[in-house]
Amino acid sequence: MARYRIEYERDACIGAAVCEALDPIHFKIVDDGKADMLEAKQEGNLWILETDSLEMAVEAAQGCPVKIIKVIDTETGKRLDE
């Protein structure tokens, strides 16, 4: 199991691009003006990435104005972005 899980509710993205500015390894604004989470799998509206490398994902989650990115420690189940 990966050390971290990043969850992203793409439908609610307002295209503010803070995530891309802070963490371009994980987030990229695409043609519809919303961010994609790179290499994530999709489960309905939720995009999920399991990773051992957070890069700047916590900062991206904290910077998102609509708070639709969560970063979770998979060992403890705790949110790292709160």
Q: Where do contacts with ligand SF4 occur on this chain (CB under 6 A)? A: 13-19, 27, 34-35, 64-66, 68-69
Of 65 and 77, nearer to ligand SF4 (C-beta) is 65
Cβ 65 to ligand SF4, closest distance in Å?
Answer: 6
Nearer to ligand SF4, 2 or 66 (CB): 66
Give min distance, CB of 75 to ligand SF4, in A: 25
Are the C-beta atoms of residues 6 and 49 closer than 8 Å to each other?
yes
Q: Which is nearer to ligand SF4, 5 or 34 (CB)?
A: 34
3-state SS class at 12: helix
> Cβ neighbours of residue 22 under 8 Å, at least 6 residues apart?
56, 59, 60, 63
